[in-house]
Chain A
C-alpha cells in the first residue's frame, strides 16, 4: 500500500467525498488558503467548484447553523474550523440543535453534518489557539466525536463521518500532519466507535487519544527496552467509545493508563478511568493512571510550553509508576 502523511490523507478523503457525492460541500474559514489547513485542503478549491468550498465570512455560529439547515434539507455539509477554539462560537447550534434533532423528532429528522475542528497546539500560540476541547463535546448525547491518530484513520474516519446520518465532530491535530503511514486508495471507512489495538502487550494497557496515541506507541517502545510489555490502544472514537476493546485489554493486563491531549478534570480520561473502575475493578492490580494536560490554559513561552504538553516520556514515567518501577521525577507531580 502507498504511504501518505496525515494531512494528505485528509485531503484525499475530501477529494473522494466531493467527487463521489454531489451533496457534499465544505463551509468555513480558510478553505481557499493553504496556510489555514496545513495542506489538508490544498488547492481543493481549484479542483472543485468554489460553490462547494465556501470560504466563509467570520461567522462561526451562523455558518454552523447553515450547515445544520443544509443537512436537514438533504445535503452532507462539512463545517470547517481551522482552530478548534473558534468552534466554541458555533457550539450553540451544534449542541442545542444538531445533537438534539433526531431525539426531538423521534427519528423523523436527522442531521448528517460533519464539523471538522483542528487542534492547533504549540508554536507559542497560547490559550486561545491551542485548545483540545473534545471532552466538552463528548458529554453531549446525540453528538459523535472522532479523533484519528493515523493517516489511514484520518481518511477513514472522515469518510465514516460524512456517511453517518448523525452530527459528527471530527477532530484532527496539526502535530499529526507529518506522520506517515499506509493509506488505502479506496474509500474505506473506519468504523466509528471502534478502537484499534496498535500493539499487543501483557503488562499494562496504554489507551491513547489522537496525538497521545502516537506518543503511547513511542512510549511502549521505550518501556519494552526496560522489559515492560505494554498494549497500546488507539481509541479513535470518543463518542461512542469502544468500552469492549478497552475493558478486554485491561482484563488481560490488569493495569491501565489513559493518555489524553486534553485537560484532566472531567476530561475524556476521567470517563475512561471511571468506566474501567466500574466494569473491570476486579481485574485491576493498580489504580488507573492518567497522563493529561494540567488544568491550566496553554502558555506561549517555549519554556512553559515544554513543561505544559505531556509526551511519550511522561507516559513512560507514569506507566513505570503504575508498575511500581522507581521513577525519579514526574513533570506534573504537583498537579497530581
Chain B
C-alpha cells in the first residue's frame, strides 16, 4: 500500500510541528520560563504521527509523561499545549495539569498522566465502553518500554484479550526508562512478545519510519475495530533528550553508549523528507507556516491569564 502525496505532506507537517514545538519548549525550560517537568518527544515523532494517522477523530488515545507528541498528532490545540505548560487558564487542562497532564476530549485525547502505565488499563476501560455500547471505536494506549515492567499492564493484556476489546497497545521502546538502559532492566530484547502469553499478537516496527508505523497501526486498529481484539506494537526508537528537561543526556545520570550519534543518523524527519523529495514534493513554505503558527500560539499563551489564587479549591469534586 502506497500513501499519496497529501498523506506524506500531512505526516511531515505533524512531525515537524512536534519537533519545532518541543524545541521551543526546550528553550523555555532552559531560560526558566517553563518550570513544570517536561519530557520531550524529540526523536520519536514518527510514532505519534504514524499511529494517529490510523485513527479516526472519535477514537481515543491515552498517554504518559512524554505525550506532547501524542496530543499534537491527535489534533490537540497548540495554544492549549503552550498555555498548559505555562500554567495558564487557557491551557488544555485549565492550567492545572502542566506538561504531564494533557486533555483534549473533543479530539480524542482522553488523558495523559505520569504514573507509569496508569492509562493502559484506562484505555482498556474506554475500549470496554465502546464495546458494551456497540460502537465501532478504538482506544490506543501509548506507553514507553518501562511500562511493561508494571504488573497491571499484564493484567490488562489478559482482560483486553478475554473481552476482545477494541484496543491497541503501542509501546514506544526508546531503550531507556528514565536513566536505565533496557539491558539493566531486562534479560531479553523481546518486548513485542509481551502479550503473547495472553493471546495478544505483537509486532516490532521501526518507530522512526512514519509509514511503517502507520501501516502496522492501521492493521492493529482495523483488527480492533472489526472485533478482532487487541494487539501490541513495539515501535523501536530513541529519545534524543534526557528523561526530563532540555539537555541531551546526562541530566539524570544516564550513561549513553554512543547510541545518540547512531540514532541522530536515523532521525525520522529527514527520512520523511526523503520520501517527500522522491515524490517531488517540497516543504519549505510549510515550514515557515509552522514556525508562524508556533509563534502565534506561544504569543497567545504567554498573554493568557494565570488562574486566580482562590481557584485552588475548585473542581476537587465534579458537580
The residues of A with any CB-CB pair to B shorter than 8 Å are: 22, 25, 51-52, 54, 56-57, 59, 61-75, 77, 92-93, 96-97, 101-110, 141-142, 144, 165-166
Contacts and interface: CB of A to CB of B under 8 A. Distances in A.
B152 A61 contact: yes
B123 A63 contact: no
B159 A56 contact: yes
Given A73-B110, A92-B115, A141-B316, A106 B94 contact: yes
Contacts of A66: 121-122, 124-125, 128, 156, 159
Nearest to A166: B317
B238 interface: no
Nearest to A98: B122
Interface of B: 60, 62, 93-97, 101, 103, 105, 110-111, 113, 115, 118-130, 132-133, 139, 151-153, 155-156, 158-159, 162-163, 314-319
Given A97-B118, A106-B315, A65 B156 contact: yes
Nearest to A100: B113
A17 B62 CA distance: 29
Contacts of A62: 121, 124, 152-153, 155-156, 158-159
B155 A59 contact: yes
Contacts of B94: 105-108
Contacts, number: 150
Contacts of A75: 128-129, 132
14 contacts: A61-B155, A62-B124, A65-B121, A66-B121, A69-B62, A69-B125, A69-B139, A73-B60, A75-B128, A97-B113, A105-B101, A107-B314, A109-B103, A166-B318
B113 to A, nearest CB: 7
Contacts of A64: 121
A57 B155 contact: yes
Nearest to B98: A104
* Residue picked from A62, A96, A101, A144, most chain B C-beta under 10 Å: A62
- For the complex of A and B, the 3 pairs showing the least CB-CB separation, nearest first, are A69-B125, A65-B121, A106-B94
Given A73-B60, A73-B130, A92-B115, A57 B125 contact: no
Given A62-B159, A103-B96, A69 B318 contact: no
A120 B101 CA distance: 38
Contacts of A141: 316
A73 B126 contact: yes
Contacts of A71: 125
B122 A72 contact: yes
Contacts of A142: 316-317
B318 A165 contact: yes
Contact of A63 (B97, B159, B317): B159
* Residue picked from B125, B152, B156, B314, most chain A C-beta under 10 Å: B125
A144 B319 CA distance: 13
B108 to A, nearest CB: 11
A53 to B, nearest CB: 12
A106 B159 contact: no
* Residue picked from A22, A73, A96, A103, most chain B C-beta under 10 Å: A73
A107 B123 CA distance: 20
